[in-house]
Amino acid sequence: MVGLFGTLDMGARSLGVQQEEMTVSGQNLANVNNPSYADEQLVISDSTPDETPIGDEGTGVQMTGITETRNPLLDTQIQGETSVTGSLTAQQTSLQNAESYLDEQITTTASSATPDSPNGLASDLSNLFASFQGLTDDPRDLSLRQTATQAAQQVTAQFNQVSTQLSKVQADLNTSVQNDVASANQDLNSIATLNQQIVEAQSAGGSAVQLVDQREQTLENLAGLANFSATTQANGAVNVSIGGVAMVTGANAVNSLQAYDPGDGNLLVQAQTGGTSITLTGGSIEGEITARDGALATLQTGLNTLASQLITQVNSIYSAGYDLHGNTGQDLFTGTNASDIGVNSSLVNDPSEFQAAGVSGAAGNSSVALALGQLGSQKLSSLNNQTFGGNYAQTVSDLGNSISSVNDNLNNSQAVAQMLSNDRTSASGVSLDGEMTNLIQYQKAYEASAELITTLNEMLQTVVSMKTS
Amino acid sequence: MRVSTDSFTNNFNYQIGQLESQQTILQAETTTGLKVTLPEDNPGVMDQVLNLQGEASTNNQYQNNISQVQASANTASNAINSLQTIVEKAGEIATEAGGVTSSSQLASYATQVSQLLQQALQLGNTQDANGNYIFGGTDTANPPFSATTDSSGNVTGVTYNGNTSLAETEVAPGLTVSAQNAGENNTGSGASGVFADSRTGADVFSHLISLQQDLQSGNTSAISSTDTPNLTKDEDNVVTQVSANGVLQSTLQAAGNTAQQNATNFDSEMSNDTNANLAQTITQLDQTQTAFQAALQSGAMVMQLSLMEFLP
């Protein structure tokens, strides 16, 4: 027999359990907007029964722990998708920057109702060749020579400007790689520390759900920077390795990432200890490297090839020409690529030095100007059998293709991330209505237990008054 | 399926975001009238537009070139027609002078021929609107013909200072024409000379000078036997020049028409490639807005519902 006092004790414990239920519900309600929080539950069971001649007699309820609804598979999937999204977002941002610097944007203007792209290199190049053609109308005319010289200056200025800005995008990407590597290392350290705290808490028999939440948040943060593989150990610790190199083992951050310069100024990633080079396949660091060495590098190479071909091809025709004073042998363009292409400075000061004529002393001869103008519609083997304009258009549309495919992939990835996040909130998220219902239930149970104690109190008074009366 | 508080707001935010971005895109299409503005919108169309833009610019330059060459060709045409009149007139004088014996009559003819010679010389140094000499080949900066005169003011010789090469201007892909003319070509090859050409035997100035001298000296037999046939050669040569100029003008006319047509084609191609179908876009915008409104309304309704509203 449990007896009156035993039952009183049972009521008291029951009150304690209902109170704890309230606390857990309160914790859940407080974290209703925390995306990495997993709904917690108090685990209760009936306490060890007393064996009596009439059979086992219940002794009430007891708390055995606090658990959270976490689906490790979903967590892993979300980490993976976060890496994909992180990589694509980094690519999208930098490539769209590059795209805006090219300034090829189709518009209609008040002066021209036909949609075209008036500000970029495409229109500068066509203006250049048109101005060469125009020079054949009256090769003696200084203003036409001036127009051709200015068109050449506009082309070189645009090449220089785009080249500088693309170099800046490239430099920004390298800075981002460095910053992201530093952030990833911080995350790795936090994970090791949290591992230690989780293992300690759990080995002491306690609950470490808040720490696990924190660690999950850190892991997801890390996933956005660099993709990793994580394995959960029996003691609750999570081991993290990046690119096959162990970074966190139990409570120790055994290695870290390091951004290094392989010689060309474009940072890559290696393991700090051991120096193993690491090839990432996801996360913003990988996205930055991919954008920099992929579409951006292709764009830069394309523009440099175009500029150097323009310099070579134009100069080889131009230098054979004669200016109005009978001089020959000068170059129109100086420099070797998009960054340093320029116009012969003495020509800029004196357009009469434009070598438009094929022979000396014939002011009306414009065979060089004609050849330069016709160069614009020539398909050159050094430019994949494309014209200058065609080659540039190809370069622009290649970049467009890269961005467009990143956009599509990012949309898909975001949809997948949304789906996974839905699955997780569905399984682990807090439901306000559910918690409110629980609160009422716990409140009623608390009232009932209190009622039990009140009743027992009255019964005990009855017992005590039996003696006094 | 269990729905947590987060599930709903997460989904709601995502859906609203999708609808908003679609709405922004359609709104931009409606205001600009363009469905492609950036390379990423449609790389293929961008490639096409940049290429078309280049071709349109070249085509536009062809149109400029055509009108420039046309202006010079008109100037040349006027000059050549005048030259034809001069040569015909000289021919008539030569024919008439063959039967005249009166020395005063012959002197009067000589004066007329001397005037014709001066006019021809003036024509030879014709400049176009830009001040370029059109009968000096590529030497457009200097007067192509210079005359030497004797003490009594008679022209005794005309020297050609120009050259026989012509600068070409492109007026259509691969089609080049020249606004320049060689005044004289005795090399036997290349551009035909307007005033003198060894291939046709034409030499307006020396023939006029010899006619003038024969008239002055009263050598009527030489006028009939030499000067008249020579002037006929000059006439033939000028007629050839007139028809060559006509061919040039009609070539320019045809090239101009083609360029005009091409300009229209390029414009419409670029418009077709990039213009949004406004009826379709506005309908889609309408649909998206309706969906957006419905999402907001239903979201607001669902979010208001909470057990807390009903608890005492």
Helix pair angle (B204-217, B103-124), 10° resolution: 160
Say whether residue A387 is in contact with chain B using an 8 A CB cutoff: yes
- Measured in angstroms, the CA of A59 and the nearest CA of chain B are apart by 33
Taking the CA of residue A9 and the nearest CA in chain B, the distance in Å comes to 32
How many contacts, defined by CB atoms under 8 Å, are there between A and B?
A: 228
Residue B172 has a pLDDT of 93
Q: What is the structure's pLDDT at B261? A: 95
Q: What is the predicted pLDDT for the residue at B212?
A: 92
% chain A with pLDDT above 90? 75
**Mean per-residue pLDDT for A333-343?**
96
- Choose, out of A324, A372, A397, the residue to mutate when testing the contact with B (most B CBs < 10 Å): A397
Give start and end residues of each alpha helix (H) in chain B: 5-32, 43-97, 103-124, 204-217, 220-222, 228-274, 278-304, 307-310
Contacts with A425 from chain B: Cβ below 8 Å = 4, 6-7, 10
Average confidence score pLDDT of chain A: 92
What is the percent of chain B where pLDDT is above 90? Answer: 70
Does position A1 have pLDDT exceeding 70, yes or no?
Answer: no
**Can you give the pLDDT at residue A378?**
93
Instruction: Encode pLDDT of A262-299 as tens digits.
Output: 999 999 999 999 999 999 999 999 999 999 999 999 99
Nearest by CB: A123 against B48, B53, B130: B53
* Amino acid letter, A182: A
Q: Does B75 touch chain A (CB under 8 A)?
A: no
Amino acid at B135: F
Longest dimension (CA), chain A: 145
Q: Is the pLDDT of residue A4 over 90?
A: no
Is the CB of A364 less than 8 angstroms away from the CB of B64? no
Length, in residues, of chain A: 469
Report pLDDT digits (tens) over B173-219: 999 999 899 999 999 898 999 999 999 999 999 999 999 999 999 88
Say if the Cβ atoms of A404 and B56 lie within 8 Å: no
Q: Where are the domains of chain B?
A: 52-267
Interface contact A213, partner B, CB < 8 A: no
305-344 in A: which are within 8 Å (CB) of B? none
Q: How confident is the model at residue A469 (pLDDT cuts 50, 70, 90)?
A: low
pLDDT tens per residue, range A227-272? 999 999 999 899 999 999 999 999 999 999 999 999 999 999 999 9
E strand or H helix at B152, and its extent?
Answer: none
Per-residue CA distances from A429 to A20, A36, A38, A101, A215 (Å):
20, 9, 6, 44, 17
Beta-carbon separation of B167 and A367 below 8 A: yes
CA distances in angstroms from B60 to A37, A108, A134, A245, A433, listed in the order given: 66, 18, 10, 62, 71
Q: Is the pLDDT of residue B256 over 70?
A: yes
Instruction: Determine the pLDDT at residue A121.
Output: 94
**Is A99 in CB contact (< 8 Å) with chain B?**
yes
pLDDT class for A110, splitting at 50, 70, 90?
low
Residue A87 corresponds to which tokens in the numbers above? Answer: 């990589």
Tokens 């876009």 locate to B281
The arithmetic mean of pLDDT across residues B246-272, rounded, is 93
Tell me the per-residue pLDDT of A379-395, one tens digit each, with 9 for 90 and over. Answer: 999 999 999 999 999 99
Distance between CA atoms of B140 and B142, rounded to whole angstroms?
6
- List the single best residue of B169, B306, B310, B311 to mutate versus A (max A Cβ within 10 A): B169
| A440: nearest CA partner in chain B | B311
> Are B209 and B196 spatial neighbours (Cβ–Cβ below 8 Å)?
no
- Chain A contact for B279 (CB, 8 A cutoff): no
Q: What would the DSSP string read from start to end of A269-328?
A: EEETTT--B----SSHHHHHHHHIIIIIHHHHHHHHHHHHHHHHHHHHHHTTSB-TTS-B
Instruction: Output the pLDDT for position B252.
Output: 95
By Cβ distance, the residue of A136, A359, A394 closest to B169 is A136
Give per-residue pLDDT as tens, A82-97.
Answer: 999 999 999 999 999 9
Q: With an 8 Å Cβ cutoff, is A432 touching chain B?
A: yes
The band of B81, judged by pLDDT with boundaries at 50, 70 and 90, is very high
The mean pLDDT of A186-215, rounded to a whole number, is: 91
- Which CATH code for domain B52-267? 1.20.1330.10
Q: Are A280 and A289 in contact (CB under 8 A)?
A: yes
Average pLDDT for B229-236 = 93
Average pLDDT over residues B60-79: 94
Minimum CA–CA partner of A361 in chain B: B139
Q: What are phi and psi of A442, to 5 degrees?
A: -65, -40
Establish if B126 touches chain A: CB-CB under 8 angstroms.
no
Residue of A359, A389, A437 lying closest to B50 (CB–CB) = A389
Name the pTM for this structure: 0.86
Residue of A nearest to B269 (CA): A114
Confidence label for A116 from pLDDT (cuts 50, 70 and 90): confident
Burial class (CB in 10 A: 0-12, 13-18, 19+), B310: exposed
pLDDT band at B118 (very low <50, low <70, confident <90, very high): very high
Mean pLDDT of A214-221: 94
Q: Which residues between 106 and 125 in chain B have a beta carbon less than 8 angstroms from any beta carbon of chain A?
A: none
What percent of chain A is predicted at pLDDT more than 70? Answer: 99
Q: Is B56 on the interface with A (CB under 8 A)?
A: yes
The pLDDT tens digits of the residues spanning A146-179 come to 999 999 999 999 999 999 999 999 999 999 999 9
| pLDDT for residue A132 | 95
* B130 to A129: CB separation less than 8 angstroms, yes or no: no
Contact B137, B191 (CB under 8 A): yes
Q: Is B57 on the interface with A (CB under 8 A)?
A: yes
Q: What is the pLDDT of residue B254?
A: 95
Measure CB to CB from residue B5 to each of A108, A394, A431 and give the nearest one: A431
